[in-house]
Structure 1
Amino acid sequence: MSHDTPVVVLDLSATGIGIVRSLAKEGIQVNAYDTKGKYEIGKTRHASCGICPNPVDEESALLEFLIQTAGKYRKKAVLFAGSDDYVYFISKNRYILANYYQFLLPEHDLVKAVLDKRLTYDLAVNSNVSCPKTFAIQDEKHLEQIINQITFPCILKPVFSSHFRTRIDHRLYKKAIVVEQAAQLRNEYHFYRPFGELLIQEDIPGHENCIYSVKTFFDDKMNLIGVWMNQKLHQFPPRFGSSALALSIRDEEVIQMALSFLQKIQFKGLAITEFKRDPRDGQLKFIEINPRIGLTQALSIACGVNLAYLYYLSLTGQNPKPVTRQKEGIKWVYLVRDFLSFRQKRKNGEMTFPAWLKSLSGKKVEALFAWDDPLPFIRSFVSHLRNLWRRS
């Protein structure tokens, strides 16, 4: 295989670092960029790292930055996005960026649909995919009109998750808010509405280990080039957060549901499709699609389906052989987040220290730690603990 085409990764979170390491170990030249704060924590010795403008607030500056950066390479670099904000930026500016970089995304309307939770729900309903009952709230008057149709507890969540994650207030750095009764819903809606559009969704019961993520790569002709999946074990924050501990497993029902859905909507490129098994009826309920590589990329490598590398080979015209089988029973842990998740669960009486230690047993890979590149892990650990101290 030829590895002389360079790579540019936009993101230096654990997701971006997973992409960087999985390609650098193949001998590929990797360049990684992110905004100042994330760069300072995530910069890695496996890539040439730098600071870039923010994809949300400095879109024109980032576009100019990438055009200038492209001039450094003899070949059009393969472009990776490690966050939804970077995906949306690339998709929106695809016709300009395609002159300088190689990347593969679905049509822009489809990218917008999976990033807008209201439109994602419509996609699922129109594709006959079971999903939680959802209400898009227009304003307080509309909330009052439908409040008697809502079953409690329910979930209040942003239409665009990134709108909350960009806020400094820790109350906004969350994927969903659990609401127990109508009065609380009114109060929570009043507080959160100024920061972005909101929707209300049925709360699917069950523990975090009822959640499954299917990772896929379909090429430009919708040929399946790679697929693997994991079960979530812990999330941070607990219940509604990102993965903190995950397990590589294969469940054909989950995989076939994801593949069928993606093929029906013609979702080419990289994707993460998430479902939760409803303990009330045993049925899988669709949660979301993310149009990129996921946080658990290190597990992708460990279980034998390196989606980042398959994507690179495909875009550089090397026609990789599809990889659709995976190693099972390997755990992935984002240790600092898993510890903070345990800490919160112990406070709520939901987990003991011995039970947490037992959950970490077995063969596993760490999200950030690497003996030959320890600093991203150390800086991330310190940053998380510092943020915890500030919030407390």
Structure 2
Amino acid sequence: MQHEHPAVVLCLSANGIGVVRSLRRKGISVYAYDIKERYQLGRTRHAVCGICPHPTYNQEELLTFLIRLGESLGKKAVLYAASDDFVYFISKFRESLSGLYSFLLPDHTLIEAVLDKRLTYELARKHNIPCPKTYIINHEDQLESLSNELTFPCILKPVFSDDYRKRLNKKAIIIEKAETLQQEYRIYRQYGELLIQELIPGNEDQLYGVGAFFDEKMNLIGLFTSKKLQQFPPYFGSASLMLSTREETSTELGIAFLEELQFKGFGKLEFKKDPRDGVMKFLEINARTWLSHSLSTACGVNICYLYYLSMTGQDPQPITNQKEGIKWVYLVRDFLSFRQKEKNGEMTFWEWIKNLSGKREYALFTWDDPMPFFRITFNHLYNAWKSRREQRKRTGKR
């Protein structure tokens, strides 16, 4: 295999760090960039790292930055986006970037649809994909009439989840009863647009992920499936503990949905099995590498490398089988989730340790590149301590 083309990775979160490592260990030259805050935490010795303009607030500056970078590299670089804001930026400026970078995304209308949860659920219903009942809120006046239709508890969910989580670090807000719906809506609406969704009961281990890479001709080149064991924040959040496993119903449903959509490039879907009727229900879709994708590499499906080979015209052989039973852990996030569950009387220390047992792949820690782990771990612990201190001040507790 030929590796003369460099790779450029945008976003130095755990997701982006995983992309960098998977490519560098194949001997590929990697350049990685992010805004200042994430760069300071996630810079890694496996890439030439730097600060770039913000993909949402400084788009013209970022475009100029990437054009100059591409011109300086000598060879056409393979471009990766490890966060939604970078995905949208690349999609929006795909014509300007395509001369200097190789990348593959679905049509821009699909990118907009997967980033806007209202459009996402319209797509699912159009293609007869089972999903939770979802209510679009255009005016606050709708809430009173909706209260008679809703089953409580239900959830408030951000329309644009990536931006919302940066503001509030919440993926969903549980509404326990009709009497609090309007009040809770007013509180959380200030952080971004919201929709209301049916709450599917069941634990986190009923959440299944289907990750895939389709090439330009919609050939399935890489496939990896897993299930969540724990999330951060608990109950509604991103994975902190994952297990490599094949679940056929979600796999068949997810691949068929991606094929119908002509979803080229990376696609990651999440489903939850509803214990009330046994139906696997669609929750979300992303057009990028996903947080726990390094687990796929540990299980024999290096989906980032397959993408590189495809983007450089090397026609990789599809890999759709995986090792099962390997866990992926984002240790500091999993610890913080455990602490919250312990506080709620839902998990003991020994139960948490048991969950971590077995063969593991770590989200951040490696012996040859330990510093991102220490910087990001300290940042999470500091933010958790600061949040508890502020809460104690508000409540008057010591």
TM-score by length of 2: 0.96
Residues in 1 aligned to 2:239 and 2:166: alpha-carbon distance in whole angstroms? 19
C-alpha displacement at 1:190, in angstroms? 0.6
Q: Where does residue 13 of structure 1 map in the other structure?
A: 13
Q: Where does residue 170 of structure 2 map in the other structure?
A: 174
Which residues of structure 2 form unaligned runs of 5+?
A: 389-398
Q: Secondary structure at the match of 1:166?
A: helix
Of 187, 197, 202, which aligns to 2:198? 202
Q: Does residue 29 of structure 2 align to residue 62 of structure 1?
A: no
C-alpha displacement at 1:28, in angstroms? 0.2
Q: Does residue 365 of structure 2 align to residue 369 of structure 1?
A: yes
Q: Secondary structure at the match of 1:320?
A: coil
Q: Does residue 315 of structure 2 align to residue 343 of structure 1?
A: no
Q: Secondary structure at the match of 1:274?
A: strand
Q: Where does residue 52 of structure 2 map in the other structure?
A: 52
Output the amino acid matched with 2:155.
I
Q: Where does residue 321 of structure 1 map in the other structure?
A: 317
Q: Deviations over 1:39-80 (max 9, x none)?
A: 000000000000011111111111111111111111110100
Residues in 2 aligned to 1:307 and 1:298: alpha-carbon distance in whole angstroms? 9
C-alpha displacement at 1:100, in angstroms? 1.5
Q: Where does residue 280 of structure 2 map in the other structure?
A: 284
Q: Where does residue 82 of structure 1 map in the other structure?
A: 82
Q: Where does residue 234 of structure 2 map in the other structure?
A: 238
Q: Secondary structure at the match of 1:140?
A: coil
Output the amino acid matched with 1:209.
D
Q: Where does residue 124 of structure 1 map in the other structure?
A: 124
Residues in 2 aligned to 1:24 and 1:286: alpha-carbon distance in whole angstroms? 34
Q: Deviations over 1:236-273 (max 9, x none)?
A: 01110000000000112211110001101111110111
Q: Where does residue 354 of structure 2 map in the other structure?
A: 358
C-alpha displacement at 1:212, in angstroms? 0.4
Output the amino acid matched with 2:26.
E
C-alpha displacement at 1:218, in angstroms? 0.3
Q: Where does residue 254 of structure 1 map in the other structure?
A: 250
Describe how 1:266-305 pairs up with structure 2 within 5 A. 266-305=262-301
Return 157-166 or 360-369, whichever deviates more.
157-166
Q: Where does residue 73 of structure 2 map in the other structure?
A: 73
> Could you tell me whether the CA contact under 8 Å between 1:216 and 1:272 is conserved in 2?
yes
Output the amino acid matched with 1:53.
P
Of 181, 185, 201, which aligns to 2:181? 185
Q: Deviations over 1:1-49 (max 9, x none)?
A: 0000000000100000000000000000000000101000000000000
Q: Secondary structure at the match of 2:148?
A: helix
Q: Where does residue 391 of structure 2 map in the other structure?
A: none
> Could you tell me whether the CA contact under 8 Å between 2:170 and 2:236 is conserved in 1?
yes
C-alpha displacement at 1:142, in angstroms? 2.0
- List structure 1 runs of 4+ shifted beyond 3 angstroms: none
Residues in 1 aligned to 2:48 and 2:172: alpha-carbon distance in whole angstroms? 36
> Could you tell me whether the CA contact under 8 Å between 1:174 and 1:241 is conserved in 2?
yes
Q: Secondary structure at the match of 1:71?
A: helix
Output the amino acid matched with 1:124.
A
Residues in 2 aligned to 1:44 and 1:117: alpha-carbon distance in whole angstroms? 33
Residues in 1 aligned to 2:327 and 2:140: alpha-carbon distance in whole angstroms? 44
C-alpha displacement at 1:144, in angstroms? 2.2
> Could you tell me whether the CA contact under 8 Å between 1:163 and 1:195 is conserved in 2?
no
Output the amino acid matched with 2:387.
R
Residues in 2 aligned to 1:145 and 1:152: alpha-carbon distance in whole angstroms? 14
Residues in 1 aligned to 2:166 and 2:200: alpha-carbon distance in whole angstroms? 27
Output the amino acid matched with 2:318.
P
C-alpha displacement at 1:194, in angstroms? 2.4
Q: Where does residue 145 of structure 1 map in the other structure?
A: 145
Residues in 2 aligned to 1:380 and 1:275: alpha-carbon distance in whole angstroms? 29
Residues in 1 aligned to 2:85 and 2:98: alpha-carbon distance in whole angstroms? 18
Residues in 2 aligned to 1:332 and 1:199: alpha-carbon distance in whole angstroms? 31
Output the amino acid matched with 2:186.
H
> Could you tell me whether the CA contact under 8 Å between 1:208 and 1:235 is conserved in 2?
yes
Identity of aligned residues (%): 60
Q: Where does residue 330 of structure 1 map in the other structure?
A: 326
> Could you tell me whether the CA contact under 8 Å between 2:147 and 2:178 is conserved in 1?
yes
Count of residues in correspondence between the two structures:
388
C-alpha displacement at 1:374, in angstroms? 0.3
> Could you tell me whether the CA contact under 8 Å between 2:143 and 2:181 is conserved in 1?
no
